[in-house]
Amino acid sequence: MNYSISYIIATRNRLAFLTITLGALIKEIQAGEEIVVVDGDSTDGSREYLQQLFEQGKIHQFVSEPDRNQAHAWNKAMLMAKGTVIKKIIDDDVFCYSAIRECRDYMLENDTVDVVISNDLSSTLNNYKEIQQHSRLPQFQNWVSRETPSFTFGDVHMLIRKSSLAFIGLYQTDFVMIDWEYSLRISYLKANIAYYTGYNALSVAHPGTTTSKKNEKLIKSQGQRAGGLYGYKGDDAAISAWSKVKISAGRLLNHTKKAGDVRAELPAIGETYEFYYDYLSKVNGHNEFQFIQGI
């Protein structure tokens, strides 16, 4: 079957978040779309939950096996995808599927576009009603005008044309900051990137996020390495703005109390995510957005 879009998820031992995010996606899925899930041999019930969904026909492709790191897992999912367009769905973040479909439709109508990115929203679970807006539009415009050879953006709101993987490649498996390196590489290669001024995702920070576990030494060393490879001189976000939020949130939550105590004090996750989905829908429903063509 030909799919217009593949929603891909890589997960491991995050059942509480996975059931919410995947549950929302399953409710939204339409004909001609597929869900691909790569589980890293979870031991918290995720594997059994996913196997049941697969047997019920609610997800289209599923594998559960050990992976070497997060880049390896996401690469497997991208290679498994059968859709013309690939959208990464991170198990603890929030997505607006109407906005994602606008981005997909733009790519289907403009077959030279390799990647679409958008603005992003971010929040932390312990302060979920405070939501930040982020834009990389100025950096994108500087890149389009050739003032900079590359720029950074988060992959939470990125859509990729499957056939473009032959040009831009997969995630670099020796990077922890995988979206950092990938965005610099994509832009340095002068891939055809389009910018959507709406919000197709809201990134959520908590003690278990990968980004919150990064340290300054790692950020600096990997940032310098990628910057050297792709001519990145830095800007007001030496690491992407949403990653800064996640790192700060993770440190604050982890240093305040033990992780178990912190989680016990967080608002009910289901209730919090209902707020997020409603907020994201309203932001996109009450505004008009446009696509800005890149190179």
The pLDDT tens digits of the residues spanning 187-208 come to 999 999 999 999 999 999 887 6
Helices and strands, number each (H, E), in the chain: 11, 10
The pLDDT tens digits of the residues spanning 40-68 come to 999 999 999 999 999 999 999 999 999 99
pLDDT at 83: 98
> How many domains does one find in the chain?
1
* 294 inside domain: no
In whole angstroms, what separates CA 185 from the centre of its chain?
17
The pTM assigned to this predicted structure is 0.90
CA distance 186 to 167: 9
Token pair recorded at residue 35: 């869900």
Which CATH number fits the domain that encloses residue 185? 3.90.550.10
| Amino acid in the structure at residue 57 | G
pLDDT at 262: 35
Helices (H), the chain: 15-28, 46-55, 70-80, 97-109, 137-144, 165-168, 178-188, 216-230, 241-256, 259-265, 269-285
**Residue span of the structural domain in which 272 resides:** 3-287
* 257 inside domain: yes
Q: Which of 100-104, 171-175, 214-218, 239-243 has the lowest mean pLDDT?
A: 239-243
**N-terminal to C-terminal alpha carbon distance within the chain:** 32
Residue written as tokens 């479909």?
101
pLDDT at 227: 83
* 292 inside domain: no
| Amino acid in the structure at residue 67 | D
Mean pLDDT of the chain: 88
CA distance 202 to 252: 20
Q: What is the 3-state secondary structure (H, E, C) of 3-31?
A: EEEEEEEEECCCHHHHHHHHHHHHHHCCC
**Neighbour tally for 263: CB within 10 Å:** 17
**Neighbour tally for 217: CB within 10 Å:** 8
* 16 inside domain: yes
pLDDT at 4: 98
Phi first, then psi, for residue 71 (nearest 5°) are -65, -40
CA distance 295 to 56: 43
pLDDT at 236: 54
pLDDT, average across residues 240-249: 47
According to DSSP, the residues that pair with 11 across neighbouring strands are 39
* 121 inside domain: yes
* 295 inside domain: no
